Amino acid sequence: MNEGLAIRTRGLTRDFGALRAVDHVDLDVPRSRIYGFLGPNGSGKSTTIRMLCGLLTPTEGSATVLGHAIPAEAEALRRKVGYMTQKFSLYEDLTVRENLDFMAEVYALRRARKRDRVDTISERYGLTRLLGQRAGTLSGGQKQRLALGAALLHDPELLFLDEPTSAVDPENRRAFWESLFDLVEAGTTILVSTHYMDEAERCHELAILDQGRLAASGSPQDLARDIDARVVLLRTDRPRSAGKALHAEPWVLSVAQVGNELRVLADKAQEDAVAAVAARVRAAGYEVAHCESVPASLEDVFVAATLPNRTARRERAA
């Protein structure tokens, strides 16, 4: 295995009966980085993470995680990884300390190390004053910090986070991500799944999954630069009506209204997309106040990579 990689997969596939949840995914995840999985619900993010943890056996393909072949060496891997699920999975009728003590036992920490790690984690994630409180009475942000702390008790090399901020407010999400960068600076590799664009932009690299397939991968900057579309910003007096007129065009992949402006994704084959957008709107009888080509956002990249019926639109345009 490449020493610079924490995870390498080739053709990773998982079927559930007739359903193919993950379809021949190739990943190269560098060490000491935050690698993001971006995709809609049902895109295969959680299934991929479970295979990489050794919790699910691939139907096809291979995976090497921290030098261990998965699933054959899953038992040896478990002491090197932490896993935080989307849903709070600790015991709500136990106190914070009891939950941490229990997880330390699961990780087989010796007594002195257990005491040290529980104290360290409690202080680091603001849990010290909550140690005697039942987990079920914690706020969403407090539960999140407890779940993260429990996943880190054994000081794992690799941390899997499955949509970890779905139940917390923006302030707690921001603080959570700052703590992730502290972990990376200390040498931890993090693979995190999310459907929030602002979180995906924080990742060093991303994989966009769609219907179990790898639709795109790279750094957020590279993905935006290499988007398979042209992005046009349009200001018009009738944005809703103009958007409907544009959407009828086969070379228009997507139209989204942002305030009084329209963000138009045009097929890359449409070379002068700005002129084409302006001409179509004027032909429909609406004023064009402003029209220009703009850099792609990560949301543009995501839409372009996962857009349904794109092939059909291209055939219509031809």
Would residue 203 count as lying in a domain?
no
Would residue 157 count as lying in a domain?
no
Would residue 255 count as lying in a domain?
yes
Would residue 100 count as lying in a domain?
no
Print the SS3 string covering 183-225. Answer: HHHCCCEEEEEECCHHHHCCCCEEEEEECCEEEEEECHHHHHH
CATH code of the domain containing 251: 3.30.70.980
Would residue 266 count as lying in a domain?
yes
What confidence tier does 315 reach under pLDDT thresholds 50, 70, 90? very low
What confidence score (pLDDT) does residue 172 get?
83
**Interhelix angle 111-124/140-151, nearest 10 degrees:** 140
pTM given for the model: 0.89
Per-residue burial over 183-214, b = 16 or more CB atoms within 10 Å of its CB, e = otherwise: bbeeebbbbbbbbeeebbbbbbbbbbbbbbbb
Distances (CA, A) of 164 to 21, 99, 144: 21, 18, 7
Q: Which two tokens stand for residue 307?
A: 């857009």
For 67-83, how does the pLDDT look when each residue is reduced to its tens digit (9 = 90+)? 999 999 999 998 899 99
Would residue 120 count as lying in a domain?
no
Would residue 288 count as lying in a domain?
yes
Contact 317, 269 (CB under 8 A): yes
Domain that holds residue 265: 227-317
For 122-135, how does the pLDDT look when each residue is reduced to its tens digit (9 = 90+)? 999 999 999 999 99
Give the percent of the chain with pLDDT over 90. Answer: 80
Distances (CA, A) of 201 to 37, 197, 222, 301: 11, 6, 11, 11
What confidence score (pLDDT) does residue 318 get?
47
Would residue 234 count as lying in a domain?
yes
Domains contained in the chain, number = 1
